[in-house]
Structure 1
Amino acid sequence: MSGRPVKRSLTLRGHRTSVSLEDAFWKAFRAMAKAEGLALNELAARIDEARDPDIGLASSIRVAILDNLHAKLQEADKSL
């Protein structure tokens, strides 16, 4: 798995955009979308709509992935 960002195209509300994320983030982003029952473009659009306009989409996706993982860890901790 490469630590270098990989640029991929996404379609958000009918508009094409490209996002650069490291392989590990792309993998986690796909898993997050699947777990939520969403297409990758749908999840990206949700994150895009909720983000601060001063924060880039790639950064917002990384933070969303981290927030998702953190929530899962808190749930697991509560069940112990």
Structure 2
Amino acid sequence: MSRPKKHSLTLRGHRTSVSLEDEFWAAFREIAADEGRALNELATEIDAERGTDTGLASAIRLYVLRRLRAR
């Protein structure tokens, strides 16, 4: 297990930092590549769909988990 690492993303023209473990970053990148989408594009979609009670990092983790379970 790795510690969360910050990476910058651009969502709707604004830069933001998200902290995720290496394993989640790798899976998130893999999912985006499988869909033929840019990582920022997928992150923007996840951001738009998350509720105000959920942070972006948590929303990305849950998205990755759901996608891996669906395989």
TM-score range for the pair, normalised by the shorter chain length: over 0.9
Q: Which residue of 1 aligns with 2:22?
A: 23
Identical aligned residues as a percent: 63
Taking structure 2 as the reference length, the TM-score comes to 0.97
The CA deviation string for residues 21-73 of structure 1, in whole angstroms up to 9 with x for no partner, is 0000000000000011110000000000000111000000000000000111x
Computing the radius of gyration over CA atoms, which structure comes out larger, 1 or 2? 1
Which of 1 and 2 has higher RCO (CA within 8 Å, sep 6+)? 2
Query: What 5-or-longer segments of structure 1 have no aligned partner?
Result: 73-80
2:37 matches 1:38: yes
Alignment RMSD (CA, Å)? 0.8
Query: What 5-or-longer segments of structure 2 have no aligned partner?
Result: none
